[in-house]
Structure 1
Amino acid sequence: MRVAFFSTKSYDKESFNHYLPDHSHEFTYFEPKLDSNTIALAEGFDAICSFVNDHLDEKTLIKLDELGVKNIVLRCAGYNQVNLEKAAELGFKLCRVPAYSPEAVAEHALALLMTLSRKTHKAYNRVRENNYSIEGLTGFNIHGKTVGVIGTGAIGKAFCEIMLGIGCKLLAHDIYENEELKKLGVTYLTLDELFAQSDIISLHCPLTPDTFHLINSTTLSKMKNGVVIINTSRGALIETKSVIKALKNRKVGNLGIDVYEQEENLFFQNLSETIVLDEQIARLMTFPNVLITGHQAFLTHEALAQIAKTTLQNLDELAAGGDLSNEIKWKS
């Protein structure tokens, strides 16, 4: 298949080019993200490969259909950026990477938490300037804390296992309870019970209409004062204006996010010489107890290798015209 590859970064090329010789596909890498303005680049291709901030809305899908490109492979697990109903209506074949390295994301969630808990990012900057004072660097133990995990799929499960190893009490909420985790000592509760009892809350659920702005003024009011919130899932799980207010009144003690609800025009770009007009992220970065990374939780060699291998497998199956192991189907 001839594949138009959108939102390309150097690490994408490196990982995919490593495995391409074992497959009969031809890739053309495009740096722009996919939307209705760039979809013309897909003309003449058999498939497109897209990422988390590419647009596969109704307008883009209609244009893609007009170009005769009916195969879409997502090199990510989430698919909230896709209008699934329209894709089904137009007869698209759509595949994703359901799991690449759950441990990569879970470990990044831990990294955010540990950095906030011991202020190592601040200590690093001090020592580089020969400032060896430890005043103001008092942290808190993670051991013994009650950790609430929302979403116990592959990533949430990996995070639970890590936190159990540290010596935390684990609470969880999911539509489907994981029996293996329950045997390890994880207790499943309602969301309200989890909010009320957790010292630390980590989000590992997909973005759906039901989980949109899951963290909002109402749910924040149910949490402990000084709660720590970690989000490595999807930005729009958190209503930013509400969490800013909660940071100001100290309801939220620490916030660590690798995703942001308005990240589309910010993340994956070097804007260091640009005036960023997003006032909410600018406000978040003024808080000393907020840590933001730019959607890098997935970014390990192991995860990139698995993303490439699974995506190429999806393309092999699309080319063969048989069953699709990782197909996404619209459910009305």
Structure 2
Amino acid sequence: MEILAFGVQADEKPLIEKVFSGLHDVRCLDVFLTEDTARIAAGHEIVSTSVNADLGEGVLRTLAAGGTKLIAQRSTGFNNIDLDVAERLGLTVARVSYYSPYSVAEFAWTLAMAVNRRIVRASNRTRDFDFRLDGLMGRDLRGRTVGVLGTGKIGEAFTRIAHGFGMRLLGWDLAENPACLELGMQYVEKERLLAESDLVSLHVPLLPATRHLLDAAALRTMRDDAILVNSSRGGLVDTDALVAELRAGRFTGVGLDVYEAEAGLFFVDRSLEVVEDDILARLVTFPNVVVTSHQAYYTVDAVGQIIGTTVQNVLDYTEGRHSENVLVPAAS
């Protein structure tokens, strides 16, 4: 049986081929699964997808018509999948429930430090042999307040690093994490967290209830000199509202590894094209904003775990087993 894997990055391909070796044949494609590419999957019972795949009704119907039975998504998030439609079509859907939380937490801190200490601007200057310090002044983080929205595995890892910096810890979540409480975290309402935090970092999933968690009103609640980091999902932040706040001169820095309209943009080379997304084009012009292309998870450790779990999901499917990774079980 040949498995068709969409949206495979060059660094991922040898890892995928190595892990699948001796188990199943795997064909890796660098194109993403969309309505235009879904027909390629015809005749493949198992399809593996990336986080930016389009798995809406149209694509799912094309996959089902082509004989696909299992969709094995190589990510934790699944907001791109219409699970109700998948169930109606008899498609089994599995994801990766867990991978290294340190990959994302450490990268979130990389973004925070990059905007706090103006690393990108400093690096660009020194490339031109401009060694002035004007405009590069940052702040000590020790003694300042960090607000962590979402204190699951990644939020906990982020909090442990904040604790190491000696910061005051504020948290917001539906349930309190005992490990974060032991570190001294105080759980408060979202509005208070935003109003008191020098640094705010997002670590919640994108669900209907969390879409635009940081809307215009929430962003206005934040301190004028705050730092905002989002390494979770782009839709958590109302980007139009964020641009408006930045245009008003607010925020010391913003670090974004995700963007709510990233599908079709991130993970591909658009450098020779005219990018028609005016909001993204405006975002990257702000000197206090750093935008990266959804790479927080992209470490050898995390990607290795993601691929390993994907292989296990495939084996569970072919051998009739069920696991916590299954979002839509096989039709009975």
TM bracket (short chain): over 0.9
User: Could you tell me which residue of structure 2 aligns to residue 130 of structure 1?
Assistant: 129
Tell me the secondary structure at the aligned position of residue 328 of structure 1.
Answer: strand
For 1:93-104, list aligned pairs within 5 A.
93-104=92-103
Deviations 1:197-227 (A, max 9, x none): 1111100111111111111111112222222
User: Residue deviations 1:109-129, cap 9 Å, x none?
Assistant: 000010111112222222222
Identity %: 37
CA RMSD of aligned residues (A): 1.4
Alignment of 1:134-149 (within 5 A): 134-149=133-148
Contact preservation (8 Å) 1:36, 1:60 = yes
How far, CA to CA, are the matches of 2:222 and 2:137 in structure 1? 23
The CA distance in 2 between the partners of 1:105 and 1:149, in whole Å, is 14
Structure-1 separation of matches of 2:98 and 2:200: 22
Aligned counterpart, 2:20: 20
Aligned partner letter, 1:100: Y
Unmatched 5+ residue regions in structure 2? none
8 A contact 1:230–1:257 mirrored in 2? yes
| TM-score scaled by length of structure 2 | 0.96
Task: Within 5 Å, give how 1:89-238 maps onto structure 2.
Answer: 89-238=88-237
Q: Out of 173-182 and 78-87, give the one that drifted further.
A: 173-182
The two structures have a TM-score, normalised by structure 1, of 0.96
Instruction: Tell me which moved more, 316-325 or 288-297.
Output: 316-325
Cα offset, 1:31, TM superposition: 2.1
The answer as to whether partners of 1:117 and 1:142 remain within 8 angstroms in 2 is no
Q: Paired residue for 2:8?
A: 8
Q: Structure 2 CA distance, aligned partners of 1:267 and 1:176?
A: 32
Q: What amino acid is the match of 2:13?
A: K
Q: Distance in 1 between matches of 2:232 and 2:3?
A: 27
Q: Secondary structure at the match of 1:205?
A: coil
Amino acid in the other structure paired with 2:220: S
Q: Distance in 1 between matches of 2:194 and 2:9?
A: 38
Q: Residues 50-61 of structure 1 correspond to what in structure 2 (within 5 A)?
A: 50-61=49-60
Amino acid at match of 1:48: V
Contact 2:97–2:324 (8 Å) recurs in 1: no
1:278 maps to which residue? 277
After TM superposition, the runs of 4+ consecutive aligned structure 1 residues lying more than 6 A away are none
Q: Which amino acid aligns with 1:233?
A: S
- The CA deviation string for residues 26-48 of structure 1, in whole angstroms up to 9 with x for no partner, is 11112221122211111111211
